[in-house]
Structure 1
Amino acid sequence: MTMTTVIQRAVWVLFLWPYLLTCSLPLDCREDHGSFSRCPSISQEKLLDRVIQHAELIYRVSEESCSLFEEMFVPFPLQLQRNQAGYACITKTLPIPSSKSEIQQISDKWLLHSVLMLVQSWIEPLVYLQATLDRYDGAPDMLLNKTKWVSEKLISLEQGVVVLIKKMLNEGMTTTAYSEQGLLQFDGQPEMLESVMRDYTLLSCFKKDAHKMEILLKLLKCRQTDTYNCA
């Protein structure tokens, strides 16, 4: 893709960006004093719909961020190198069902906790990613803003999922912070190539996991309405 095409795409998305944000439906689960007083007042069905819409938008923006980073900083040979080198995603060790048969067999409870595990495991890495992208020469503000926006919305999604767990399963607040279990190690100052590939891997893995969050939540929604026909 030529630089002219990249610039044209960046300008086009820049004009659409405010519209995309205004189209999203915020979870609005936390008031100024930090309580979860609004989400419990929403019906379970509407809360689940809002959580799904939140996850959809997070995945869409993560996809745009990954594509933009790829076009700006990752030549095609390095894209192949990432695939061939088999860079592992930081959530690979989490007990998240991956195959179709595994997902179909797990309970609604485990679907929700799987989403929560994914959300919590990415909060800290996205904060790191914001800091490291600030050090890139020529990193467009659009990429930085998208990464910051996704990081903030991920925290909001976590709040919505926690309230949904309480509402659907009558459980207490879930406090397990999977991002603190050594999933991420950042030591020293790597060479530029390694830094680019590491950040590219983070963006690619997050895009994949954001899609998985969306799929699991939609499966949960399907189970609420059509238990026997949710492939």
Structure 2
Amino acid sequence: MAYRRTSGSKLFMTVVFMVAMCRAIPINDLLDRASQRSDELHSLSTMLTQELDSHFPPIGRVIMPRPTSCHTSSLQTPNDKDQALQVSESALMSLARSLLQAWVDPLVVLSHSASTLPHPAQSTINNKIQELQQHSKSLGDGLDILSNKMGPAAQAISSLPYRGATDPGQDKISKLVHFNFLLSCLRRDSHKIDSFLKVLRCRAARMQPEQC
């Protein structure tokens, strides 16, 4: 029992030390890391979309819901970089964290769907979905630390619950359409997150707007 308590104490101290080290890292460096991770997240979601498109039936494009049906569409966000440059740092961080948090449950749905997806590259897609979950978790942990450095406004998160279908359906078309729609929403939102964090990194480095 004494050994277990000692091991537990060592683990606790290691976690405390790592958190303290992260908090001691300059915000510019933390933003660089967050931006790199968000770029990986968006690149991976883009690769997955392209992989799925290679065997996506034409009828699926006709019946797939519009982007406005994404569960995050109610969140008011800048439409482009110029608009993002007009938004405060704390608001951009809040938006990025809100979008990322909104994908915790849908990523679980994608993971379950990927395990039985009727697609020739099912195994590869399944592995990449697992990577997406890992990147999302890692980025979320980093943004938590960053938001704590930026103040209460940056820590605010808008609730965007996922109320879409958790069952992709029984037939091949339904499964592919459900999966492709969720993935297209994720790709759109990961691009927004990446753009917001790059603007924040740019500001922290005191770069001119045209260089962002």
For the superposition of Structure 1 and Structure 2, which TM-score range results when normalised by the shorter chain?
A: 0.7 to 0.9
What do residues 157-196 of structure 1 show as CA deviations (whole Å, max 9, x unaligned)?
11111111112x2349947473xx5332326663422332
Q: Matched residue of 2:23: which SS?
A: helix
Of 117, 140, 150 in structure 1, the residue corresponding to residue 132 of structure 2 is: 150
Could you tell me whether the CA contact under 8 Å between 2:84 and 2:199 is conserved in 1? no
Q: Which runs of 5+ in 1 are unaligned?
A: 1-30
Of 188, 201, 204 in structure 1, the residue corresponding to residue 184 of structure 2 is: 204
Q: Is 1:62 aligned with 2:42?
A: no
Could you tell me whether the CA contact under 8 Å between 1:59 and 1:211 is conserved in 2? yes
Letter in 2 for 1:105: Q
- Normalised to the residue count of structure 1, the TM-score between the two structures is 0.73
Could you tell me whether the CA contact under 8 Å between 1:125 and 1:184 is conserved in 2? no
Q: Matched residue of 2:109: which SS?
A: helix
**How big is the shift at 1:51?**
0.2
**How big is the shift at 1:38?**
3.6
Which residue does the alignment assign to 1:165?
A: 147
**Max Rg structure:** 2
Q: Is 1:91 aligned with 2:57?
A: no
Which residue does the alignment assign to 2:9?
A: none
Which residue does the alignment assign to 1:26?
A: none
Q: What is the number of residues matched between the two proteins?
A: 195
CA distance 1:183–1:78, shift in 2 (3 Å): same
**How big is the shift at 1:126?**
0.5
Q: In angstroms, what is the RMSD of aligned CA positions?
A: 2.8
**How big is the shift at 1:94?**
1.6
Of 162, 183, 190 in structure 2, the residue corresponding to residue 183 of structure 1 is: 162
Q: Which has the higher contact order (CA 8 A, sep 6+)?
A: 2
CA distance 1:195–1:177, shift in 2 (3 Å): farther
- Normalised to the residue count of structure 2, the TM-score between the two structures is 0.79
Q: Matched residue of 1:36: which SS?
A: helix
